[in-house]
Amino acid sequence: MKTSGGSDAAKRRAGESAAAAVDDGEVVGLGTGSTAAHAIRRLGDRVDAGLEVRGVPTSFASRELAADRGIPLLDLDEAVGPDAPGVDLAIDGADQVAVGRGGEPTAGPLIKGGGAAHAREKLVDAAADRLLVVADPSKEAPVLDRPVPVESLPAGRTAVAEAVRTAGGEPTLRRAECKDGPVVTDNGNLVLDCAFGEIAEPSALAATLSATPGVVEHGLFVDLADEVHVGTESGVRVLT
Ligand code: 5RP
């Protein structure tokens, strides 16, 4: 699993803070990445201590970790729909969080997909009544400016790259670090990391990317985060 950004201690504080917000009987979306993994481990400890929850994983990696920690699991198809329990909250990481310029930092739009799991993460996070984002201070920025991961159907890779250029971005096919070839998502697709510079209007860019044929999902998460738990070297700040 990819790790990035700040210290593991800060990530652990963030993950554990969000895991503490889970109540008995809830259905919890389980995010992907090194920070969300801390939340899953702490939830596992709480299950050992008697907490009754069910988790909805957002990736193969989060499913494996949660199963290993004894967290009962549901597929999203079992969690939503008629007579289904719904998803009470989701806990997920982020690659960048826009906290605004000046004034009180707020839980703004996110860039996700550093672990290539953003399609299922968005499904689960959007289905949840509340999304708690877990991050360390290296993820905070006044305005989003990191490359946006765009999951593309393999056959659409060149057409999607052209559409990204037309929208003002520079796409780079994500390559596997330890293998000679592209990253392939849990859904069998490719990822283009698309640099747009500062993203002044995330909603507009999100709409453009969503409307592009061949795009399965992109990593702009707009109006989804309810709280951001930022772990620091000494504690946790919660942005709303
Ligand atoms: C995976 C993600 C992760 O949540 C994001 O990459 C953050 O990971 P980490 O907590 O390891 O920094 O979006 O697709």
**Angle at which helices 34-48 and 8-19 cross, to 10°:** 50
Structure tokens, 64: 């494996």
For the CA of 92, the nearest atom of ligand 1: 4
> Residue 172 and residue 145: Cα distance in Å, rounded?
15
Q: Is 6 in the pocket of ligand 1 (CB under 6 A)?
A: no
Q: Is 217 in the pocket of ligand 1 (CB under 6 A)?
A: no
Structure tokens, 60: 């193969």
Q: Is 125 in the pocket of ligand 1 (CB under 6 A)?
A: no
Tell me the pLDDT tens digit for each residue of 22-42: 999 999 999 999 999 999 999
Tell me the pLDDT tens digit for each residue of 67-114: 999 999 999 999 999 999 999 999 999 999 999 998 899 999 999 999
| Centroid of ligand 1 to alpha carbon of 1 (angstroms) | 9
| Centroid of ligand 1 to alpha carbon of 33 (angstroms) | 4
Tell me the pLDDT tens digit for each residue of 119-157: 999 999 999 999 999 999 999 999 999 999 999 999 999
User: Residue 22 burial by CB count (10 A; 0-12/13-18/19+): exposed, middle or buried?
Assistant: buried
Please tell me whether 33 is known to bind a ligand.
yes
Q: Is 152 in the pocket of ligand 1 (CB under 6 A)?
A: no
Please tell me whether 2 is known to bind a ligand.
no
Question: What is the pLDDT, as a whole number, of residue 71?
Answer: 98
Ligand 1 pocket mutation, candidates 34, 95, 134, 230, criterion most atoms within 8 A of CB: 95
Q: Is 60 in the pocket of ligand 1 (CB under 6 A)?
A: no
Catalytic member of 16, 26, 121, 151: 121
The yes-or-no answer on residue 26 being catalytic is no
Q: Is 93 in the pocket of ligand 1 (CB under 6 A)?
A: yes
> Residue 141 and residue 220: Cα distance in Å, rounded?
14
Position of tokens 């559409």?
A: 163
Please tell me the pTM assigned to this model: 0.96
| Centroid of ligand 1 to alpha carbon of 136 (angstroms) | 11
Question: What is the pLDDT, as a whole number, of residue 159?
Answer: 98
Segment 209-213 mean pLDDT: 98
